[in-house]
Amino acid sequence: MLFWVIAAILTLGASLAVLLPLTGGGKGASSSSDHDLEVYRDQLAELDRDASRGLIQPAEAEEARAEIARRILRLGNTSQADAAGTRQPSRAARLVATSAVLVVPLLSWGLYSQVGSPDLPSQPLAERLAKNPADSSVDELVARAEAHLAANPSDGRGWDVLAPIYLRLQRFSDAVTAYRNAIRLDGDTAAREAGLGEAIANAAGGIVSADAQSAFEQALRLDPANPKASFYLAMALAQEGRLAEATAAWQKMLGLLPQDSPWRGAVQQALADAANRSAASGEPATGPDAAAVDAASSMAPQDRQAMIDTMVAGLDEKLRQNPRDTEGWMRLIRSYVVLGKADAARDALHRGIAVFGADSEEAKKFTALAASLGLTATE
């Protein structure tokens, strides 16, 4: 009921603001003209007094009277023009305007009564955050947690709850901060350390950096069977070009995982990628098991290609960080050639030669490898 009262008052105010000018006429213009005329009359009276006292010559007084008369005449003409310009609208125009002012609110009210929800109570943010979590959206839950932690930054449990949510929302930098706060306040656990490592790796675009490796290694010290830490440490080996070791680690992990573990699919895909990468680089494979072969055959071609590209890009990044790896440069050059990326292979060749020097034995090996693959130093 309060809503309709307020709406009626506002509508009435808006309607009056439009209707009143239609009934005002030219009162403003008339009032202004009357004032000017009164001023001119005062000037004439003052002029007569000055002339009678001899303060002004008769000729000058006559000339001044004529000028004031001309102004009064102009004022009369202007008043008539203003009256014509501000003449009240015709009855038909006023009727149309009044109808529009009244009909529009009525139509709006009628439409809102059918499709609107005037009885729906307001829901300010504080009330939305206070309602049952089961009825809240993810964004509302996150906002509630963030508001709580802003007021209670030492609540380690709150950071521990929020960190994996950030991770699922792909807010990786926020996840890193949340995990670090949880570890600092409530101590490290295998789950927190593994989550921290995953957040750091994802924030770096999938590269398992030294900080991420340190977190994963700490997770394994706390729980040697932690699957997340084991998986990412094997990925780090693959990104470093230690493909045989990574494959062995994944195969060992696959043998230990329960059949219903959600990590089995990820490990099988990683083994399939390792097998494809071994074939692409010409390195001897370690003999993937039946599960790895099945996974490789069941993957879509674009998925296999995407995983291979990711692993090769990881090796390239590792070589940029640790460039004095002869075998790594040779694997990178060979991989780019097999992938059909001649320009990338040529760039890797030039970078590898620059690291060791054009006259070094390593540069000769790189050049010989490139020649055997049909890759020239220039186009």
Q: Judge if 165 and 219 occupy the same domain.
A: yes
Centre a 10 Å sphere on the Cβ of residue 360 and count the other Cβ atoms it contains. Answer: 14
Q: Judge if 51 and 142 occupy the same domain.
A: no
Tell me if 126 is assigned to some domain: no
Q: Judge if 10 and 106 occupy the same domain.
A: yes
Tell me if 37 is assigned to some domain: yes
Q: Judge if 143 and 220 occupy the same domain.
A: yes
Tell me if 174 is assigned to some domain: yes
pLDDT in tens, the chain (379 residues): 566 667 677 776 776 666 666 565 545 445 566 667 777 777 778 877 877 777 777 777 777 777 877 777 776 666 555 555 555 556 666 676 666 666 666 777 667 666 666 665 555 544 544 555 555 567 777 888 888 888 888 999 999 989 999 998 888 999 999 999 999 999 999 999 999 999 999 888 788 888 999 999 999 999 999 999 999 999 988 888 788 888 889 988 888 888 888 888 888 888 887 777 666 555 443 333 334 434 444 455 565 566 667 777 888 888 888 888 888 888 888 888 877 788 888 999 999 999 999 899 888 888 888 887 777 755 4
Start-to-end C-alpha separation, the chain: 81
CATH number of domain containing 159 = 1.25.40.10
Tell me if 103 is assigned to some domain: yes
Centre a 10 Å sphere on the Cβ of residue 222 and count the other Cβ atoms it contains. Answer: 16
Range of the domain at 60: 2-16+33-80+98-115
Using CA of residue 355, residue 358, residue 364, residue 370, what is the dihedral sign? positive
Residue appearing with tokens 């570890």? 183
Tell me if 267 is assigned to some domain: no
Distance separating alpha carbons of residues 322 and 326, to the nearest angstrom: 11
SS3 151: helix
Residues in Cβ contact with 376 at an 8 Å cutoff, skipping those fewer than 6 apart: 346, 370
- Provide the CB-side half-sphere exposure for 205 (13 A, CA): 6
Residues in Cβ contact with 185 at an 8 Å cutoff, skipping those fewer than 6 apart: 154, 155, 156, 159
Q: Judge if 104 and 152 occupy the same domain.
A: no
Using CA of residue 33, residue 39, residue 45, residue 51, what is the dihedral sign? negative
| Count of structural domains, the chain | 2
Burial 265-297 (b: 16+ CB within 10 A, else e): ebbbbbbbbbbbbbebbebeebebbebbeebbe
Distance separating alpha carbons of residues 20 and 172, to the nearest angstrom: 61
What pLDDT is recorded for position 311? 75
3-state helix, strand, coil in the chain (%, to 5): 80, 0, 20
What pLDDT is recorded for position 51? 76
Q: Judge if 153 and 198 occupy the same domain.
A: yes
Tell me if 148 is assigned to some domain: yes
Distance separating alpha carbons of residues 286 and 87, to the nearest angstrom: 100
Q: Which of 164, 153, 223 is nearest to 188 (CA)?
A: 223
Distance separating alpha carbons of residues 342 and 363, to the nearest angstrom: 18
Written as six digits, the tokens of 247 are: 């494959």
Tell me if 199 is assigned to some domain: yes
Helix axes 156-168, 190-203, angle to 10 degrees: 40
Tell me if 107 is assigned to some domain: yes
Amino acid at site 4? W
Q: Which segments within 34-126 are labelled E, that is strand? A: none
- Provide the CB-side half-sphere exposure for 203 (13 A, CA): 18
SS3 311: helix
By the 8 A CB rule, do 215 and 197 touch?
A: yes
